[in-house]
Structure 1
Amino acid sequence: MNFLIDENFPANSLGYLSQMYRGHFFDHVVMGNYKAGIDDLSLFTEAKRQGIDVLITGDIRQITGQDRLNERKACRQAGLHWLGVPQVLKARGKEGKWAQTNSLLSNMRYALPVFESATSPTAILLRPGSIKLQAEKEFPQLL
């Protein structure tokens, strides 16, 4: 599958995704053949024209915002799947980018089969990542 990472998502995720999910193509709006600041409606059409199957974005309002139903419709009409990765609101700077990227990296293996088996454009909205230690109950503990 071919994935396009929107300009509002950390560009450094491109390298990690390409290494972890070999056999799939990953591009980033800023680094690819897209106009800087391209509007979302045009982006959907252009992405599909360039062979993209899935848009990865941090702009979750494209799907959840009642004021942006036209964007959801345009994404569907372009035949794109959509993967939304929310920002961690309490995170700042690099910490927020890491949490968002980690959320995508750890969930991509579950999203791939959904998109691969979908017969029509499908949206997946991930839960926000965490900036807290995700240890089991009673950990950390002394060895």
Structure 2
Amino acid sequence: MKFYIDENLSPLIAEPVGRVYRKYQFRTPAHESLRGVLDVPLFNDLALREFDAVITHDGRQLQEDHGERQALREAGLHWIGLPEAKVSGAHGVSVLAGTLLAAFPKILPELSGPPSAFHVAVDRVETGMVADAYPL
């Protein structure tokens, strides 16, 4: 599986997540030469490059922009939304990477189905992470 880490996230999360999930690819805008590409054309391009999912902070893609949501659906891409890290620098990278790593066991089994959205949120009481999923 191929995951695209959106440019609104630190590209540094690709390495630690990729070290844990070695059979998957975690690519960034720099890897794909896709910096600054608008979302709808980006989703089409990612589909042509056989990506499976977009990892992002941009919740507006689903809530406010129905054209972007439709483009995700048409491209066959899953959407994985991470919460904003309240810290920056190395601490912020580790928080984002850790959040994604903690949510992946719940998300990965769902990726064989139709395009879905996964809102990842911290849940300190139980498993550490909750990934709410619903169809795009």
TM-score interval, smaller chain: 0.7 to 0.9
Q: CA deviation at 1:101?
A: 2.4
Distance between the aligned counterparts of 2:71 and 2:8, measured in 1? Answer: 19
Q: Gaps spanning 5+ residues in structure 1: where?
A: 137-143
Give the equivalent residue in structure 2 for 1:55.
54
SS in 2 for 1:30: helix
From the CA coordinates, give the structure whose radius of gyration is larger. Answer: 1
Letter in 2 for 1:107: A
Letter in 2 for 1:41: V
Give the equivalent residue in structure 2 for 1:70.
67
Distance between the aligned counterparts of 1:17 and 1:77, measured in 2? Answer: 27
Letter in 2 for 1:55: V
Letter in 1 for 2:13: S
Aligned length: 125
**Normalised TM-score (structure 1):** 0.78
Give the equivalent residue in structure 2 for 1:122.
116
**Normalised TM-score (structure 2):** 0.82
Q: CA deviation at 1:97?
A: 3.7
SS in 2 for 1:16: helix
* Structure number having the greater strand percentage: 2
Q: CA deviation at 1:18?
A: 1.1
Give the equivalent residue in structure 2 for 1:6.
6
Give the equivalent residue in structure 1 for 2:81.
84
Identity over aligned residues, as a percent? 30
Distance between the aligned counterparts of 1:11 and 1:56, measured in 2? Answer: 11
Q: Gaps spanning 5+ residues in structure 2: where?
A: 127-136
* Structure number having the greater helix percentage: 2
Q: CA deviation at 1:96?
A: 3.7
Seen in structure 2, the aligned counterparts of structure 1 residues 112 and 42 have a Cα distance that, compared at 3 Å, is: same
